[in-house]
Amino acid sequence: MSARILFTLLIIACQARGQQNAFPLFDARHWGVVLEHPAMKNVIAKKDVTFWKDEKSTLAMDVYMPPGLKAGEKRPAIIFLNGIGDGPAGQPSVRNWMIYSTWPQLVAAYGFIGISPGADGSRIQESFKFLFNYLKESGATFHIDSEQLGVYAASANTTEAGTYLMRDDAFKGIKAAVLYYGSAPPSPFRKDLPVLFFIAEGDVRRNGYSGVWTDVLKNNAPWTIKMGTGLPHGFDAFSDTPEGRRAVRETISFWKDQLEPIPTPSWPHELPREAVAASYMHDDNKATDLAKQWLTSHPDDKDALGMFAYAAKNARRYAEAEGAYRKLIGTETDDPFQQMEFAQVLYGVNKPEEADRYAAMAQQSGRIPRFQYVVTASILYYQKDYARCAAYYEKALALQSSSVDYYNLGCTYALGNEKDKAFACLTKAVELGAASKQQYMGDSDLASLHADARWKELMEKLK
């Protein structure tokens, strides 16, 4: 096929999409989004809508709407953020690049409002502010639901866009963000903004992404990180392949999941389900309160009483837990796990002799796991019963060696003024990897050891 025929076919294809392509074939700006939808040809485009004007600049946007919208109807909108700014007058604006005119056309074919805005390169953050203020005040004119917005930023646009999105004063109507093949935004990440972070394999060599997941976990941020295996930078425009189209389709699905209403289930809200969720979220106070609420109308529900007892123990509401366990098990029980849990509660309410009796019964079974001894030791630590606390750490270590347990046991012995045992445990902790000098120096539990000559020797082993 000759180059002339190929060029003619490309022009025909662009016209079929309703787009004018002013960029040459080997210009990255020539290429539009690689996924097509039959309804794209019916999308209504409103071009050059001014959303801000002052003595410095006039900023405009292109709005793409699905056909058949009714008067007063509002739809979620997807904004394709311009984080680099537009060039001088007479130069094509970013919204005229094919990727920034076909992407909003595509999302409009899927039922969203697509928005491709301009930006002043000398004041990008202000440009974002101007845009979202306009959408809040006048978005309904274009059927835009300004409380249900998704955003897209790609490549160099992610730097300014990511900075804006992680700000506390970012527009609250933004409910979902997509960041493509660019830099991760500055940490801390927001906990209230779902983000799809799509990494292209072609960028991995140039950019360091190893710390992104660490920041996600540190902030409990609702991120989805997608590795675009085999995809280049700019894959949504350049990868005319099933893999490229699948990536675009997954992105649209992400916006749909985050912005479209979730159907209401047929069943009513159920308090036990909420209590179980709270328990598995380790929100023990909430689980205790919900189980307690259920028991007011279901006093004979032993399962609810069991959850209440266990959650109250974990929440250190030992007095409440004691009463529940006494109702649950009476004066005796053959269940070693309940015996151990009840012993922990009794230690918590400062009834150590009775607690010892139940703990001894539990241990006779030989089934008590290591973590239960650690939990018991922790309770006794807060009760300042250092002798019993140390004994339970010793039981845990007899089942499995642990640098953390040796460290905590060393602290316990130090608090109990048993220095020889303390140094022996701390030395073992260092050997097993607990070697942070800052931690040892800053722990007030170890203050009694500082004047001992062995302390200096221990510090020399630390990093």
pLDDT of 80: 98
- Distance, CA of 29 to chain centre: 33
pLDDT of 19: 58
Break the chain down into helix, strand, coil percent, rounded to 5.
Answer: 55, 15, 35
Arch. (CATH architecture) of 3-259: 3-Layer(aba) Sandwich (3.40)
Map out the domains of the chain as residue ranges: 3-259
CA distance 394 to 428: 13
Cβ distance 250 to 226 under 8 Å? Answer: yes
pLDDT of 15: 38
Task: Give 10-residue mean pLDDT values along the chain (463 residues).
Answer: 38 45 89 97 97 94 96 97 84 90 98 97 96 98 98 96 96 98 92 97 82 93 96 96 97 97 94 97 98 96 95 97 91 83 97 96 94 97 97 97 97 97 97 92 96 95 88
Q: How far apart are the first and last CA of the chain?
A: 68
What distances in angstroms separate CA 312 from CA 331, 371, 437, 458, one per listed residue? 19, 18, 36, 40
pLDDT of 332: 63
pLDDT of 90: 62
